[in-house]
């Protein structure tokens, strides 16, 4: 890492302690094996002032070179991994920033074997020959800021597969690595269908292009991470066939919707991200719950899923909430805040709720309430498009009160009871959900073992058809 234009007697270098998309401290500095600083090939004094922050003495020094090695051996969508045929890098894991200079343009050079293909959401890429390295070439990127750099993971391998499709003026790219060859004709048609539906709902797309980066493993895996113009998805096992493809559709639709919801429509508490510590926010249910709800709904509304496939996915969401943590003490607001405490590990019994599953359940409740009040002329889609226009598109962070105001504006009356019971409280939601589902010809039912089943009571229900756009 070359740092130039130094104009102070010292600088501070910070490695992020967490990454967007996973709201827990991960302390990436524990993976740095060695760390050295030089100026004109002479060692420069430095020392750590926190676990992941270095103070470097730069009196009478205008440029330094920082050299370090990062141990990259974790195969998941948010980490970094290198072996003899793959280089996967989340730059937020391993590239520090100079305090006070995060908004400056920077340059990134990657040196790879010549037979490697490379995918990365960064633009302004150039290919340069590297005669100092036999059988290699370099790729140079010029991100506009550190924030853009670390929101653009890179995957490189000689075995990457690639196809693309276009919606309006936006190019969408689909990449695969692993022992998996999709039915490209069906995949591109399905992806185009749910992409078109999402853009139609939201009005326009936030980026000029987008990359679905898929790594298929031989072992069981399900993980996706959203980024500004890409998503990294790791799935497995590669032998699963139709089940793997269904998982791919679900997670891809979910992650694409994040291009609006969280990448752009972002809580005010995260404007901008502070990578040094926890960024507590009470609206995880909106960032992840609404996205979980719409990830599957967009698939049936676009004709990719049948009604039966969608209702099976909805039943899974309902089962996970009501069977696992429906009696938990915390509210969605409390569990959103506590993501940083235990949101991604096994919690003690009856403590927290899932911002994904209960967040999707309360999104279902609000969507059906609005649809019934306005005979499907308005819906939760109206709320989210307003959030995009009012906050995401102009780069203004929203608060939980902002979200409530938009919901009430769309609904045309107070929603204080909804927010008190569903968002800020821990009232059981079974009766509320079933009362709404009844108007759509559906009911939740429990067997003698306490297992939930979603039953279709009226297959010809008009509200059901309008909701699922059949």
What lies within 8 Å, CB to CB, of 224 at 6+ separation is 77, 231, 232, 233, 234, 251, 252, 254, 255
pLDDT values of the chain reduced to their tens digit, one per residue, 470 residues:
999 999 999 999 999 999 999 999 999 999 999 999 999 999 999 999 999 999 999 999 999 999 999 999 999 999 999 999 999 999 999 999 999 999 999 999 999 999 999 999 998 777 776 666 667 788 899 999 999 999 999 999 999 999 999 999 999 999 999 999 999 999 999 999 999 999 999 999 999 999 999 999 999 999 999 999 999 999 999 988 889 999 999 999 999 999 999 999 999 999 999 999 999 999 999 999 999 999 999 999 999 999 999 999 999 999 999 999 888 999 999 999 999 999 998 889 999 999 999 999 999 999 999 999 999 999 999 999 999 999 999 999 999 999 999 999 999 999 999 999 999 999 999 999 999 999 999 999 999 888 999 999 999 999 999 999 96
* Domains of the chain listed by start with CATH number: 2-157 (2.60.40.3650), 260-468 (1.10.390.10)
Secondary structure string (H, E, C) spanning the chain? CEECCCCCCEEEEECCCCECCECCCCCHHHHEEEEEEEECCEECCEEEEECCEEEEECCCCCCEEEEEEECCECCCCCCCEECCCCEEECHHHHCCEECCCCCCCCCEEEEEECCCEEEECCCCCEEEECCCCCCEEEEEECCCCHHHHCCCCEEEECCCEEEEEEECCEEEEEEEEECCCCCHHHHHHHHHHHHHHHHHHHCCCCCCEEEEEEEECCCCEEEEEECCCEEEEEEECCCCCHHHHHHHHHHHHHHHHCCCECCCECEHHHCCCCCCCCCCCCCHHHHHHHHHHHHHHHHHHCCCCCHHHHHHHHHHHHHHHHHHHCCCCCCHHHHHHCHHHHCCCCCCCCCCCCCCHHHHHHHHHHHHHHHHHCCCCCCHHHHHHHHHHHHHCCCCCECHHHHHHHHHHHHCCCCHHHHHHHHCCCCCCHHHHHHHHHCCCEEEEECCCCCEEEEECCCCCHHHHHHHCC
pTM summary value: 0.96
C-alpha span between 150 and 121 (Å, rounded)? 10
Angle 214-217-223 from CA coordinates, rounded to 5°: 55
């Amino acid at each position: 890492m070359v740092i130039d234009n130094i104009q102070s007697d010292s600088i501070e270098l910070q490695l992020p302690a967490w990454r967007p998309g996973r709201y827990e401290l991960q302390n990436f500095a524990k993976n740095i094996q060695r760390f050295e600083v030089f100026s004109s090939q002479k060692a420069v004094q430095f020392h750590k002032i926190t676990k992941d922050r270095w103070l470097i003495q730069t009196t009478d020094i205008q440029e330094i070179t920082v050299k370090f090695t990062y141990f990259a051996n974790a195969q998941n969508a948010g980490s970094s991994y290198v072996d003899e045929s793959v280089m996967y890098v989340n730059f937020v894991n391993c590239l520090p920033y100079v305090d006070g200079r995060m908004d400056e343009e920077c340059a990134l050079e990657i040196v790879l074997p010549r037979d490697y293909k490379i995918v990365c959401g960064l633009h302004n890429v150039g290919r340069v020959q590297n005669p100092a390295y036999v059988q290699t070439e370099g790729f140079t990127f010029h991100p506009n800021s550190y924030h853009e750099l670390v929101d653009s993971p890179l995957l490189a391998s000689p075995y990457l597969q690639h196809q693309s499709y276009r919606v309006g003026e936006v190019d969408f790219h689909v990449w695969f690595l692993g022992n998996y060859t999709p039915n490209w004709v069906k995949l591109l048609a399905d992806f185009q269908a749910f992409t078109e539906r999402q853009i139609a709902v939201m009005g326009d797309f936030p980026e000029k292009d987008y990359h679905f980066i898929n790594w298929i493993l031989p072992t069981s895996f399900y993980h996706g991470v959203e980024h500004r113009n890409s998503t990294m998805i790791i799935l497995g096992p590669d032998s699963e066939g139709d089940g793997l493809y269904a998982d791919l559709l679900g997670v891809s639709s979910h992650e694409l919707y994040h291009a609006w919801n969280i990448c752009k429509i972002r809580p005010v508490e995260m404007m901008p991200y502070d990578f040094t510590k926890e960024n507590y926010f009470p609206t995880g249910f909106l960032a992840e719950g609404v996205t979980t709800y719409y990830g599957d709904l967009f698939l049936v509304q676009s004709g990719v899923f049948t009604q039966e496939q969608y209702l099976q996915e909805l039943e899974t969401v309902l089962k996970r909430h009501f069977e696992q943590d429906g009696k938990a003490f915390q509210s969605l607001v409390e569990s959103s805040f506590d993501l940083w405490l235990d949101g991604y590990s096994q919690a003690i019994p009856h403590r927290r709720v899932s911002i994904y599953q209960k967040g999707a359940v309360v999104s279902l409740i609000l969507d059906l309430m609005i649809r019934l009040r306005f005979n499907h002329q308005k819906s939760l889609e109206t709320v989210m498009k307003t959030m995009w226009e009012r906050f995401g598109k102009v780069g203004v962070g929203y608060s939980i009160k902002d979200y409530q105001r938009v919901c009430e504006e769309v609904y045309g009356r107070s929603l204080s009871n909804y927010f008190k019971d569903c968002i800020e409280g821990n009232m059981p939601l079974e009766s509320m959900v079933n009362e709404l589902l009844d108007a759509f010809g559906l009911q939740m039912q429990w067997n003698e073992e306490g297992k939930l089943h979603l039953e279709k009571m009226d297959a010809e229900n008009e509200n059901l058809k309008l909701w699922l756009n059949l």
